[in-house]
Amino acid sequence: MPLVPVAIITVILSLALAACGGAATASPAGSVASGLPPSPPPTSAPSVAGIDHPTGPTDVVLRVEQGGGFVALDFLASQAPSFTLLGDGRVIFQQRVEQFPEPGPDGITHNRPWRIAQLDENQIQELLTFALGPGGLGTARESYIANGIADAPDTIFTIDAGGVVKKVVVNALGMEQAGADSVARKAFQALAERLQDFDRGGTIASDAYAPTKYRAILNQRDPDPSIKAVPWPWPAIKPTDFANGGDNGSGGIFMARRVMTTEEVAALGLSDVTGGIQGLVLSGPDGKLYSLILRPMLPDETS
């Protein structure tokens, strides 16, 4: 007989106890009071202590992001999670948009900012119950990329709850095909849609997320007389201070980067950078041209 993972047994037992014991329930899914988007209701609501999870302010409990696919280099370099639930109940997310921001007259694109909301433990439990159950993460493999579509992005889920600790990478989510994984992929799609439209089009109360640091990605570019470059704004920072720190944190491309403070970012003299920027060209102190990408960093990120 195949063995059932202990983590999954824990989740099943917690749900069963909540159904039988009349434990306290979370707010109804999709209500404004719950602070959560609508979703198919779970078979039972867990107790406040139903699913264990980390509780630290930098612990990632649930996250989703997209990366890869056939997109511009700047988008690959600035890949970032669209939804993160931290252990202390903070949710940092980007609102769903129908159209990505366009470059301004100066060629700079100002990316959409993140929002932040606070969940109580009942709301956290309801969300984790959905993610581990109807959302498919409780029994998911770590990879759903075999026979995938090379030009399509990967959707990356991270979960640390109920003893389930893993990343699940799903290629071409939403481009469904018949096969053995069709049921699992439908579950992942339901979870992705819920997390990627977390505030239901702006109807859930949230505040602007104010980053305390940024990831700056620097890339040397060829000379171009048609581009009006901005003078290098940092006397104490050289292009060589942007070190190749590996990928962008989630399997993205290798590019030179540096953690920058809000004061260093302010030296650029730009407005509305809380969501990050793309398309800025700097004239380096070494006489070379560089493109600069700024991406706000989340509380768990250090580089």
Query: Can you tell me the mean pLDDT for 253-268?
Result: 89
Exposure string (b/e) for 164-191, b if CB count within 10 Å is 16 or more? beebbbbbbbeeeeeeebeebbebbbbb
Structure tokens at 49: 């202590």
Mean pLDDT of 171-200: 91
Collapsing DSSP to helix, strand or coil, 280 comes out as strand
**Once rounded to an integer, what is the mean pLDDT over residues 191-212?**
93
Average pLDDT of the chain is 81
CB atoms within 10 A of CB 15: 22
Q: Distance between CA atoms of 275 and 284, rounded to whole angstroms?
A: 24
CB of 273 closer than 8 Å to CB of 78: no
* Helix ranges restricted to H, 24-119: 73-77
Query: Are 143 and 150 a contacting pair, CB within 8 Å?
Result: no
**Phi, psi (5° rounding) for residue 221?**
-130, 165
Percentage of the chain lying above the pLDDT 90 cut: 58
Q: How far is residue 49's CA from residue 109's CA, in Å, rounded to a whole number?
A: 44
The owner of tokens 């699992």 is 184
pLDDT tens digits for 131-146?
Answer: 999 999 999 999 998 7
Cβ atoms of 128 and 162 closer than 8 Å: yes
Mean pLDDT across the stretch 118-136? 97
State residue 223's pLDDT score.
Answer: 86
Bridge partners, residue 290, by sequence: 220, 282
CB 88 within 8 A of CB 293: no
Neighbours of 78 (CB within 10 A): 22
Prediction pTM value: 0.79
- Give the whole-angstrom CA distance, residue 90 versus residue 93: 10
Q: What is the model's pLDDT at position 75?
A: 59
Q: Is the pLDDT at 3 greater than 60, yes or no?
A: no
Q: What is the pLDDT of residue 224?
A: 85
**CA dist., res. 106 & res. 116, Å (int):** 29
Higher pLDDT, 282 or 180: 282
224 CA to centre of own chain? 34
Q: Which two tokens stand for residue 208?
A: 């602007």
For 277, residues 6+ apart whose C-beta sits below 8 A from its C-beta are 108, 109, 110, 111, 270, 292, 293, 294
Which pLDDT score, from 0 to 100, does residue 37 have?
A: 46
Per the CB < 8 A criterion, the answer to whether 285 and 238 are in contact is yes
